[in-house]
């Protein structure tokens, strides 16, 4: 077995124009002072990275890595959640998702898709330049508006949707293969990859591409009422990244999984800071350790009640207390009789 690395923190929810959240050196120093050992970097935020430059310039990639390491931290992975979302956008969501795109491709869905695909290719190259072996993104969604089908889905719609999704991602996945980097999809409501079955459909549509992998985040499974521990048993070979995020689900007689269009604070299913929700992290860390997961445990802070600063401060301690220093010996070795062929035959009566 292997020991999980951490604690680490995803910087996306903390970046701000006010110090210490306004640039990479400042936010890294802040994270280090809280007890974090690694940072996951959102590549759409130019306050911390220029993605294209990191892909095209080894010198620049080394500079970014050097800034982080000078603060006593490691880069765990790069993230392209927002760019990945734009690889596949159903027209129903064009207007809202245009907010993720640069002005040069807004109101132009084909150009926006091509921009997103290029961004992911840059991410593969930048990850390679930084010596990283995994990357996280969203899959985007062509089918999500049909997830609860009324009217009935036309025959063949789902197969065609995953075929098209795979067609868009295959050129990206091939670049990740060339760069030796796993592409981990965060399994997330709103994406066509939102549970185990939808992940399998996509993986099969890509021809079971070896770089198709998973970022495991149990909070999204709590909100779906999916068995997040059994998920590890089934998909542990694909889990190459881990977001440590808590959640709770408290259905009422008025609202359930769908939330009634309410704000987060009033939904039955809502994200919480670590330790304030219902996720059984002791079992999760045990299972991941059992299956030899040796990636990073990365805090993703999202909470509808607690401040991000308090969530981050408590989160470092929480993760550290859950990381298992895995044993290198069997607990009953002291009673071992060793291997003795004659003893074995005697015990078996042969």
Strand-pairing partners, residue 243, are 298
| Rg from Cα positions in the chain | 22
pLDDT of 103 strictly over 80: yes
Q: What is the mean pLDDT of residues 296-313?
A: 97
Provide the pLDDT for residue 330. 74
- Written as six digits, the tokens of 203 are 């993986």
Q: pTM of the prediction? A: 0.95
Which pLDDT score, from 0 to 100, does residue 35 have? 98
% of the chain surpassing 90 pLDDT: 94
Q: Give phi and psi for 150, each to the nearest 5.
A: -145, 115
Model pLDDT, residue 197: 98
| Residue 44 to residue 21: CA distance in whole angstroms | 15
Tens of pLDDT, residue by residue over 107-124, are 999 999 999 999 999 999
The residue count of the chain comes to 350
pLDDT of residue 332: 66
pLDDT at 329: 78
The topology (CATH level 3) of 5-348 is TIM Barrel (3.20.20)
Q: Directed axis angle between helix 109-129 and helix 58-70, to 10°?
A: 70
Peptide bond into 27 cis (omega under 30): no
When pLDDT is cut at 50, 70 and 90, the band that residue 338 belongs to is confident
Contacts for 17 with CB less than 8 Å, ≥ 6 apart = none
pLDDT at position 53, please? 98
Residues 135-194 have pLDDT tens digits of 999 999 999 999 999 999 999 999 999 999 999 999 999 999 999 999 999 999 999 999
Contact 182, 211 (CB under 8 A): yes
Residue 241 β-bridge partners: 215
Q: Is 266 helix (H, G, I), strand (E, B) or coil?
A: helix
CA distance 257 to 115: 34
Classify the C-alpha dihedral 207-210-215-218 as positive or negative.
positive
For residue 138, give Cα distances in angstroms to 96, 169, 243, 268, 270. 16, 11, 14, 24, 20
Q: Where are the beta strands (DSSP E) in 235-284?
A: 239-244, 246-249, 269-272
pLDDT of residue 337: 64
Query: Can you give the pLDDT at residue 339?
Result: 80
Residue 271: per-residue pLDDT: 98
Range with lowest mean pLDDT among 46-60, 123-137, 250-264, 318-332: 318-332
User: For all residues of the chain together, what is the average pLDDT?
Assistant: 96
Supply 288's token pair.
């991941």
Structure tokens at 66: 């050097």
């Amino acid at each position: 077995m292997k020991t999980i690395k951490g604690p680490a923190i995803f910087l996306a929810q903390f970046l701000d124009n006010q110090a210490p959240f306004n640039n990479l050196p400042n936010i890294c120093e802040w994270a280090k002072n809280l007890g974090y050992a690694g940072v996951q970097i959102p590549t759409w935020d130019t306050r911390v990275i220029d993605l294209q430059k990191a892909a095209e310039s080894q010198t620049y990639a080394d500079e970014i890595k050097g800034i982080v390491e000078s603060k006593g931290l490691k880069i765990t992975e790069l993230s392209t959640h927002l760019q990945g979302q734009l690889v596949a956008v159903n027209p129903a969501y064009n207007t809202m998702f245009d907010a993720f795109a640069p002005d040069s491709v807004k109101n132009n869905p084909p150009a926006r898709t091509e921009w997103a695909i290029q961004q992911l290719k840059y991410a593969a190259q930048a990850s390679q330049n930084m010596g990283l072996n995994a990357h996280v993104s969203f899959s985007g969604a062509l089918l999500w508006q049909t997830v609860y089908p009324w009217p009935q889905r036309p025959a063949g719609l789902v197969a065609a949707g995953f075929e098209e999704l795979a067609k868009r991602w295959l050129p990206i996945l091939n670049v990740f293969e060339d760069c030796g980097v796993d592409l981990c999809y965060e399994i997330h409501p709103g994406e066509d990859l939102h549970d185990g079955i939808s992940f399998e459909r996509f993986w099969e549509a890509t021809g079971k591409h070896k770089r198709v992998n998973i970022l495991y985040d149990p909070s999204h499974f709590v909100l779906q009422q999916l068995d997040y521990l059994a998920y590890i048993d089934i998909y542990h070979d694909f889990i190459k990244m881990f977001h440590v995020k808590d959640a709770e689900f408290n259905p009422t007689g008025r609202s359930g999984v769908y939330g009634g269009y309410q704000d987060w604070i009033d939904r039955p299913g809502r994200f919480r800071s670590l330790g304030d929700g219902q996720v059984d992290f002791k079992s999760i860390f045990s299972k991941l350790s059992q299956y030899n997961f040796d990636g990073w445990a990365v805090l993703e802070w999202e909470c509808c009640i607690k401040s991000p600063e308090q969530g981050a401060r408590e989160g470092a301690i929480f993760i550290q207390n859950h990381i298992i220093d895995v044993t290198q010996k069997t607990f009953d070795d002291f009673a071992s009789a060793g291997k003795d062929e004659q003893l074995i035959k005697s015990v078996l009566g042969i």
